[in-house]
Structure 1
Amino acid sequence: MKKKILISDPLAKEGLDILKKEDTFEVDEKEKLSSEELKKIIKDYDAIIIRSGTRLTKDIIEAADNLEVIGRAGIGVDNIDVEAASLKGIVVMNAPGGNTISTAEHTFSLLLALSR
């Protein structure tokens, strides 16, 4: 049986292609869902991948009957009720090094701009 993954925020095409290539996953892209819409459909998914546009509140997590994993494509998890997820045994993952290079490049650009 395929694991159903909900992508609720825009992700890079390369990342989506990796997920969609796997025979064990069924990937649904549904962006810009309201909290109520997400609460209604989240029970149908085994995993969800979000960015900063989606908030996973206690109410939404409690409605997630089959959810096993929350993947945060980014560093912070302040838009996820981690405590509610933990109480339901849902693993919360993030990508802490995801934008490290971009941040360093931006810092050097600012330093160069200031040195003029």
Structure 2
Amino acid sequence: MEILYFCYTDGKIWKYESSTTTSIHHQTIENNIKIFPNPASTKLYFDNPFDHKVISIYNSNASLAQVSTINNQQIDISTLSNGLFYFKINSENKIWVGKFIKQNL
């Protein structure tokens, strides 16, 4: 199985799975996550119940920049450099995606 992630100019991250098997694996991609503040400098807060979920953060070159576990509806982003980042949260049959700007004050 081949899994590809790609980003369009609208900033959304999409997942494409290619397989030669006859079974179908379906995951819904959601992008209605509320995060704040945006831009953020040290912490990013989530308005959705994502505690104990793993979040993968990618830089604008689609390279993995950080993997964290969401605790108390927040993650620490203080070690990230300034710039635009995309994130992905896997939760059962859904993939939640979004973007944020890291900007030191």
TM-score range, shorter chain: under 0.3
Larger-Rg structure: 1
TM-score (norm 1): 0.21
TM-score (norm 2): 0.22
- Indicate the structure with greater strand content: 2
- Indicate the structure with greater helix content: 1
